[in-house]
Amino acid sequence: MRFFAYITLLVLMPALRAQAGGELTDRQKYIEQWSRVAQDQMIEHGIPASITLAQGILESGNGSSMLSKKANNHFGIKCHGWDGPGVYKDDDKKNECFRKYKSAEESFEDHSEFLKKARYAALYELDITDYKSWAKGLKKAGYATDPQYAQRLIKIIEENDLHIYDMVTSKDVIAMRPKAEPRFNEKGRANTNTAEIMDLTEERNVMDHPNGIRFTKAKDGEDLESVARALDMAPWQIKRYNELSSNYIFKGGETIFLQPKRNKAKSDYHLALDGETIRLISQRYGVKMTRLEQYNGISVDSPLQKGQKVLLRPPAK
């Protein structure tokens, strides 16, 4: 059985259980309703679908909580740093403000954006299928005050086989989506709003970077999804490993890392060339931009002077 067929079967499991043993439970209904959204968030943002589902189940009471019903808030996210509407209820303190969304889908998207805060950065070093470490990492980073938060997430995942939703590949996700508009219309003219179709049968030349990371070279005009599809990876992986925006278009010959960049290089420093940026140096040496910013006390947007010394490792104490 193809993997996609297995995933499809799993998606239908709640319905099959219902046929065998009666009506769906509230939890099964929740999983059936939101598993696809959780997988979409995984592909876009790199958060395990199992973790998103388990947090939604726990925080919203299977979608029955006051916050989920009145505010479409499935993750208990409070109003800190939020300029949208809110609802109020007692929590750690009396009458605390919680974010209110137009739809539950918006809540799932904001949850993914919320986990991009710096304190959660270490989570993205973990394997996408390592739900136990993700659960423990969320608790360690302070997502919830409940001392048993990680164990409760893990229990929900294992009792409901949610970890299976983490095993979807980019090809399976693409197969679930509606077919793309054809490249040419009935008159044989190009559809200008359709991305160029790449030849996915051509093998990619995958190489080993001196900093111990696998990489390939981009073809001119490729985007995250076409590269991911060609390499049987998820777009979020290409985006995360190369620290890119969602709509990034590659130039021919660019380095594309297929694994996370390292925290430091083998060399101690680099002397900036004319027109070089932190991003170019990051891709050249396979070192995360956030680390280069930290080592040099500058931002990714800071202009570099020709000959400027850029540290590639932590400064000596």
Domain ends where: 169, 197, 215?
169
pLDDT at residue 80 is higher than 80: yes
Q: Tens digit of pLDDT for each residue in 187-211?
A: 333 333 333 333 333 457 888 888 8
pLDDT of 317? 67
Nearest to 165 by CA among 317, 13, 23, 272: 13
142 assigned to some structural domain: yes
> 179 is written with which tokens?
């077919």
H or E element in which residue 255 lies: strand 255-257
Domain ends where: 116, 140, 169?
169
Range of the domain at 305: 269-311
Beta-carbon contacts of residue 179 (< 8 Å; ≥ 6 apart): none
Residues 265, 284: contact at Cβ < 8 Å? no
Total domains in the chain come to 2
90 assigned to some structural domain: no
* pTM of the shown model: 0.56
Same domain, 7 and 121: yes
Residues 257, 266: contact at Cβ < 8 Å? no
Start-to-end C-alpha separation, the chain: 57
Helices (H), the chain: 3-11, 13-21, 26-45, 49-60, 66-71, 104-114, 131-140, 149-159, 170-176, 224-231, 235-242, 278-285, 289-296
Same domain, 164 and 302: no
180 assigned to some structural domain: no
72 assigned to some structural domain: yes
H or E element in which residue 208 lies: strand 207-208
- CATH number of domain containing 57: 1.10.530.10
185 assigned to some structural domain: no
Q: 123: which DSSP letter?
A: G
17 assigned to some structural domain: yes
- CATH number of domain containing 306: 3.10.350.10
141 assigned to some structural domain: yes
Q: Tens digit of pLDDT for each residue in 52-74?
A: 999 999 999 999 999 999 999 99
Q: In what order do the strands lie in the sheet with 207-208?
A: 207-208, 214-217, 255-257
